[in-house]
Structure 1
Amino acid sequence: MAAVDWLNGEGIPVDWLVNITGQDYPLRPLDQSEAELVDSGADGFMEYWDALGPQSHWPRSRVRSRYYFQHRRLVGLSPRAKRMLRPIQAVNRVQPLVRLHVSYGLAVGRRARTPFGPDLRLHGGSAFASLSWPVVAYLREYFDRRPDVVAYFRRCLSPVEAVFQTIVCSSGQFNLVPDCKRYFDFRGSQFNHPKSLTAEDLPRALASGAHFARKFDYERHPELLDLLDAHLAAAARQE
């Protein structure tokens, strides 16, 4: 939203907003990805599902722990500390009022009254999306109009995997393609984070049709960038 405010303040016209991180890299030339967005006729490409519905990708216990409790992060944790402290999460299975989590640092949560209901149904999905500007403008307006919802999500675990989906899908106003156009691999995931990709993963990633892939560990596998750059250059020459 800070980026959106900056764009608005500078008067920069934008058609699509695509969020990436320093661990992402394109799988296709950017002009090809842009053309697919524009030609789709859709308002956005966003992975989403009704969080407690039959098609949800998450177990109900995860949904309730993440989004029906208000959390306070006490301290960051190293990967080793997370592994050592993981057994304390067993307390979550034996009582309904308190939650302890280590995936995002040591966090403690208490059961809370949620803002969810018929007009704001909880949805989840990837934190990454490609959204047309009308969707972005709606989100910006909603954030201003409903600071209570923003405040609630701020103290949920992993709010970025639910807040945009919940607001946009509950509006009923937009034509969304349920595909975030990102490639990631959660096989063997630890603490709900995707694996760092290697050269063995590239054929599957390139065949996915995604615009970007993540996560890349540039220090451990710098050769991946050279391989991807060569692929992108060849794809550009074929246009």
Structure 2
Amino acid sequence: MKLAFIILSHKNPAQLCRLLNRLQHPLIDCYVHLDAKSDINEWQAAMNLPQVYFIEKRVNVTWAGYGTIQAALNGIEFIENSGNQYGFIHLISAQDYPLTTMNVFHDFFNARAGQQFLDLLPARTLQQMMPKITSYHFEDLRLPGKYRITAWIKKLLPKRKHPLNMEVHGGSLWWSLTQECAAWCFHFIKDHPELERFYKYTWGGDEFIFQTVIMNGPFKSTVQNNYQRYIDWSEGHAHPKTFTMSDLPGILQSGKLLARKFDMSKTPELLDRIDAAADKG
């Protein structure tokens, strides 16, 4: 079984290279989406690595906007058009890092063919997040007074209803899906443009769209609510914690296959220690 990674990247070319080198394996290909705001000339070292492909359709990714969703969809489409066949496609960012060797990583998924690994929020937590999609948001637009206008619109307009009468589900953007499931998501969203129209005016729609489409579709019964990522939200911010050396014990004891997020420019020794622990087994 071959595996593919879709990697969303926008900064730190050296860190992307380190990640790509760590992911090197005869049965693993990597597909990089580089934010359209980034200068492609700064990423030549990554482009020259074996089994690495840069996704041709690049989009401008705005935090909490629709661009992240489109970048992921562009990655799935690029893989489909390549004709390559994979058992799983893993969506990660360039600030993620594996906590195992690629042999261990490959063996884990090889033994779990046909399953989908998603993050699914419990009902109470999901309910608290619903204003992100029931109210209008304009994260992709650059308008003077945008947030003041948004506040007025929230007061004037009724709550938005999800198209297609779908039950809403949510969780982390990052997932590991079979190629069949990922391709089904791509074509379903493409064939229902009302979904794109709806999610373009949500806040952080990437936290809802894949979970909602999958849990209302034919792959629901194959979903495992364990996306195999270690992410620390303990600081209470909209962004997860960027790991430091003090987080190493928790990372190594997490039992997960991947973790985020890292900043190699600040703590390169942290990745060295993770590699050493993984290689030691």
What range is the shorter-chain TM-score in?
0.7 to 0.9
Aligned to 1:31: 103
- Conserved 8 A contact 1:27-1:211: yes
Q: How does 1:41-190 map to 2 (within 5 A)?
A: 41-49=113-121, 53=123, 56-58=124-126, 60=128, 62-64=129-131, 66-73=132-139, 74-75=141-142, 98=154, 111=158, 113-116=160-163, 119-174=165-220, 175-190=222-237
Structure 1 residue 220, shift from structure 2 partner: 1.4
- Conserved 8 A contact 1:70-1:111: no
TM-score using structure 2 length: 0.65
In structure 2, runs of 5+ residues without a counterpart are 1-72
Structure 1 residue 8, shift from structure 2 partner: 1.7
AA paired with 1:210? K
AA paired with 1:49? L
Secondary structure at the counterpart of residue 216 of structure 2: helix
- Conserved 8 A contact 2:136-2:160: no
**Residues 196-216 of structure 1, C-alpha deviations (whole Å, 9 max, x = no match):** 111221221222221111111
Aligned to 2:12: none
Structure 1 residue 59, shift from structure 2 partner: 5.0
Structure 1 residue 69, shift from structure 2 partner: 1.8
**Residues 176-219 of structure 1, C-alpha deviations (whole Å, 9 max, x = no match):** 110110001011122x1111111221221222221111111111
In structure 1, runs of 5+ residues without a counterpart are 77-87, 100-108
AA paired with 1:169? M
Secondary structure at the counterpart of residue 151 of structure 1: helix
Distance 2:105 2:196 in 1: 31
Aligned residues: 203
Aligned to 1:212: 258
**Residues 212-234 of structure 1, C-alpha deviations (whole Å, 9 max, x = no match):** 11111111111111111212221
Distance 2:118 2:171 in 1: 8
AA paired with 1:71? H
Percent identical residues: 24
AA paired with 1:181? Q
AA paired with 2:85? P
- Conserved 8 A contact 2:80-2:183: no
TM-score using structure 1 length: 0.76
Structure 1 residue 137, shift from structure 2 partner: 1.7
AA paired with 1:177? Q
